[in-house]
Amino acid sequence: MLTRTEGIVLRTQKYGEADLIATYLTSDRGIIKAFAKSPRKTGSRFGSSLEPLTHARISLWGKEQASLPKITQSDIINSFHRIRESFQDFISASRLVEILISLVPEGIPNKRLFSFFLNILHAVRSSEQESKDTLHLITLVRLLAAVGYAPGLEGCGKCGERSLVFYPDSGTTLCGRCAGPKTGAAKPHMRIHDNTIRFYTHSIEWPVHISDRLKPGREILAELSLLLDKHITYLLSRKLMSSEFSAGTK
Ligand SMILES: [Zn+2]
């Protein structure tokens, strides 16, 4: 059966000598993998439509539940080559891709996530150099929120009490009482400032296209960026460990 959809290439992996497996975020099938036969032989346009972050209209051939349909046609809607050509933009986008691939299960339709990610790519592509650091941080926060893994910074995650101490292994700030008694080695934690929480809240709530009006200071950017690093490192390592575990027990 032939199906058509729109997809954004998240990544490609070599398969055999000349073939590729592409992972897409699609508009109506969620994250899927598809097989590309000799993309380098069949002409450069097909090959370049498989570059990471390319937004394309694709035709897939395979049974409805086939785990690896074949890409029979792929037409570029947006190449987003400007993102790939900027080291900083590409690193930032690659981190978003890693989060999507690690935290979003395959094959679950999510139109909103697709439009949301497409909007992010448009915003990054057209961003001004001086607002890039802020925008990259905002896109990271918003993607985590969109997939349900944003850190909880608005009060203690257990009782709601005001707190300025973030605990990566809980994914939230905790008050002194809820964090538990300080015996032995203290749980890893990080002190944060009120201003950082305020910026974080705005970055989730404001529409992406006006987020360049947010102008946080250097310290806020540095603090939030460190916090997100800790949060994501914990999230992804736990996720990877747990998926390895479940794969081994099936
Ligand atoms: Zn508490």
pLDDT in tens, 208-228: 777 777 788 999 999 999 999
pLDDT at position 38 is 84
Tell me the CA–centroid distance for residue 173 and ligand 1, in Å.
8
Q: What distance in angstroms lies between residue 180's CA and the mean position of ligand 1's atoms? A: 9
Residue 158 CA to ligand 1 center (angstroms) comes to 5
How far is the CA of 30 from the CAs of 6, 74, 103, 105, 169, in angstroms? 10, 17, 12, 8, 28
Q: What is the pLDDT of residue 213?
A: 77
The pair of structure tokens assigned to 80 is 């987003």
Distance 102 CA to ligand 1 centre (A): 30
The length of the chain, given as a count of residues:
250
pTM: 0.88
Cα 159 to ligand 1 centre (Å):
4
Query: Which tokens go with 141?
Result: 């926060």
Q: How far is the CA of 88 from the centre of ligand 1 (A)?
A: 38
Report the percentage of the chain scoring pLDDT > 70: 91
pLDDT at 241: 58
DSSP code of residue 106: B
Domain chopping of the chain, boundaries: 2-81, 127-249
Instruction: Look up the CATH architecture of domain 2-81.
Output: Beta Barrel (2.40)
- Distance in Å, CA 166 to ligand 1 centroid: 12
Q: What is the pLDDT of residues 113-159, one digit of tens each?
A: 999 999 999 999 988 888 888 999 999 999 999 999 999 999 999 99
- Ligand 1 centroid to Cα of residue 162, in Å, is 8
- Residue 164: exposure state from Cβ atoms within 10 A (0-12, 13-18, ≥19): middle
Q: What is the pLDDT of residues 67-121, one digit of tens each?
A: 799 999 999 999 999 999 999 999 999 999 999 999 999 999 999 999 999 999 9
Dist. CA 179 → ligand 1 center (Å): 7
Which of these, 136, 118, 90, lies nearest to 24 by C-alpha position? 118
Q: How far is the CA of 31 from the centre of ligand 1 (A)?
A: 37
The answer to whether 26 touches 5, Cβ cutoff 8 Å, is yes
pLDDT of 226:
95
- Is 48 in contact with 76 (CB distance < 8 Å)? yes
Q: What is the mean pLDDT of the chain?
A: 89
